Amino acid sequence: MRWAALLTLAATWLFSSAVGNAADHPSAPAPTPAYAPSSPTTVVATNGMAAPDYAACLSDLTRTGAVYQPLGNLTKEGCALSGPVQLQSVATNFGTVTISGEPIMLCSFARQFVSWVRDIGAPLTLAYTGAGLTTIETGPGFVCRNRYNQPDAKISEHAKGNAIDIAAFILSDKQRLSVKPQPNDPANAQELLRIFRTSGCGYFTTILGPGSNAAHEEHLHFDYGMHGKTMNYRICE
């Protein structure tokens, strides 16, 4: 439909714009990809925001209408965050989107994720399916562990509050768009999910999902880690 085509073009523009904006924020949280939670190995990770940045970030989230719980300082097993929030829902022009896992994440990452839901997730869902986006099924976000739960691997972005895993999108007509392709997927479902993955690279530095590797066959992974010396480099698979 013509509206869907226009919104797809808009998503492409937002992708280019967001990549440019990322370069303007060298203080954005730092490095690397991950997978879903399980028993943590021995890791030590700290990540956080300066108090004025955290206060400004909370103000930004409040202004968007997001519902969240500020957590201040949080230590879990071997990992510590300064400036996390627990995100519960995102307000959009197309209705409220519940974040089912109520993930914990650094406020700066939550702000970026809220922008993606408002700019991309909600409008494109309506355009492609004719139904509103009501719920995003997620994991817990903050999990203290190494990548893929391997003891000799690098620390995961989940351990730094810089990552989220998405399993499915629930629509107002009760349809469930699973990230893992299903035989009874509604029309345009996989096309919409492909656009979500592509557009995500304008907002995050790592996008992984089905086809990336065995660990990501059932969910999308968004993170905000630094690859190399700047936030300009993207891993989008």
Higher pLDDT, 13 or 85: 85
User: Does residue 186 register a pLDDT over 90?
Assistant: no
Say what percent of the chain tops pLDDT 70.
71
Find which of 23-37, 87-101, 167-181, 221-235 is predicted with most confidence, using mean pLDDT: 87-101
User: Does residue 111 register a pLDDT over 90?
Assistant: yes
Higher pLDDT, 20 or 55: 55
Q: Report the pLDDT value the prediction gives residue 210, as an integer from 0 to 100.
A: 78
C-alpha to C-alpha distances, 200 to 31, 43, 48, 116, 206, nearest whole angstrom: 17, 28, 23, 7, 8
